[in-house]
Amino acid sequence: MSGFQGLFIPGPTNMPFAVRQAMDIPLEDQRAPDFPQFSLPLFQDLKKAFKTEKGQVFIFPSSGTGGWEAAITNTLSPNDKVLIAVFGQFSHLWADLCQRKGLNVDIMQVEWGEGFPLELAAQKLEADKKHEIKAVLVCHNETTTGVTSDVAGVRKVLNAANHPAMLMVDGISSIASIDFRMDEWGVDVAVAGSQKGFMLPTGLAIVAVSQKALEAHKTAKLPRCFFDFADMIRTNKDGFFPYTPATTLMRGLRASLDMLFAEGLENVFARHNRLAEGVRKGVAAWGLSLCAKEPKWHSDTVSAILIPKGFNSDDLVKIAYYRYKMSLGVGLNKIAGRAFRIGHLGSFNEIMALQALAGVEMALMDVGVPIEAGSGVAAAQQHFRKSAPQIQLAKVA
């Protein structure tokens, strides 16, 4: 079939031509004497994406899961206690990783559709007079449920309790798409992935680390090798790596950062919010509900949409894929069969959002969900038209 496969999952996301072109180059010598002229500025510019001046950024050839492992193993020791909230598949997987690494994991189980529980965390931190909790782990944007949590609020809770625990954040589906302020929010470790807001293929885990976390690294006892910060620090200072880096992806990352900075990070965040709001208005026009239970939890990078009782969301995803050549996110774990997801992040605009809504409408009607054809598209169109930048038109004589 002609045309492109519509990619509307929360990652990997659509890759801009400029990024693809930047990676379509001959392979290079990663130990060439002029390689640092490329890598050192890249390290510095990545810090801008995390909004940190004091931290250090590491680039690992890995998925985001490797970034989680790097965060944990470089800063903690066996049996250290960590506090984490589980409210979706990915926060669950991070907690599971911590348990497998031999940490004492205090899991706050939260109803799926809500975010990080500030009040419960405050109670636990206040009660921890011996400061046994060494780190608080937060999934900034839970792609399973389309929920964004208040990371700044977590920092306020830590400060109110005068608690020294490190603040670690999974920003894989938020950084470079949703406002993230590492230094201002006092984040000690932040993990991003190349395949989301950075608009690249999967393959890079980008980890930003505060000076406090780097100090913790000096005494951390969890075993590590491939993800060891010390090896990276020793070689990165001169622009090199302890092993062969993913140079092709790094060239794409350079192009991605150039695009993000040309648009302006604040404009990137505003664009994501505007597009997400258009999708949300489309969902409301269908008479359907988001998995996110309140507007304060709404994610600007992915919407998880509940399908009415009596229908299976997997059927909708399958029809959309085979009949209309578009990929939607399936429901995961607790919401498998009950929800589907529309990713609206990275290289994404109004027309792409309308394309996603139109395809979903057809698939919804095909599985028998009673919606009015064109209702969601029309609602999003009205929102996009009202919120579009004003353009000065020439007067017609």
| pLDDT, tens digit (0-9, with 9 covering 90-100), for 229-275 | 999 999 999 999 999 999 999 999 999 999 999 999 999 999 999 99
For the cut 90, the answer to whether the pLDDT of residue 152 exceeds it is yes
Domains 6-11+265-387 and 17-262 share a fold: no
Mean pLDDT, residues 305-321: 98
Other beta carbons within 10 Å of 80: 22
CA angle 378, 300, 45 (to 5 degrees): 130
Other beta carbons within 10 Å of 244: 9
For the cut 70, the answer to whether the pLDDT of residue 212 exceeds it is yes
For 62-177, strand residue ranges (E) read 81-86, 104-109, 133-139, 141-142, 147-148, 166-170
Task: Read off the pTM.
Answer: 0.96
Domains of the chain by residue range:
6-11+265-387, 17-262
At 218 the three-state DSSP class reads: coil
Contact (CB, 8 A) for 38 and 22: no
Cα–Cα distances in angstroms (integers) from residue 310 to residues 145, 360, 362, 367, 382, in the given order: 20, 18, 18, 10, 31
Lookup: tokens for 350: 């109004």
Q: What's the burial of 370, exposed, middle or buried (CB within 10 Å: 0-12/13-18/19+)?
A: exposed
Residue with tokens 């529309």: 342
For the cut 70, the answer to whether the pLDDT of residue 324 exceeds it is yes
Lookup: tokens for 240: 């090199």
Question: Domain 17-262 falls in which CATH fold?
Answer: Aspartate Aminotransferase; domain 2 (3.40.640)
Contact (CB, 8 A) for 145 and 331: no
31: confidence class by pLDDT, cuts 50, 70, 90: very high
Mean pLDDT, residues 331-356: 98
Percent of the chain residues past pLDDT 70, beyond the cut:
99
Architecture (CATH level 2) of domain 6-11+265-387: Alpha-Beta Complex (3.90)
- Position 360 scores a pLDDT of 98
- Position 1 scores a pLDDT of 58
Percent of the chain residues past pLDDT 90, beyond the cut:
97
Q: How far apart are CA 314 and CA 331, in angstroms?
A: 8
- Position 342 scores a pLDDT of 98
- Position 301 scores a pLDDT of 98
Closest alpha carbon to 227 in 247, 243, 251, 246:
243
Mean pLDDT, residues 342-349: 98
For the cut 80, the answer to whether the pLDDT of residue 391 exceeds it is yes
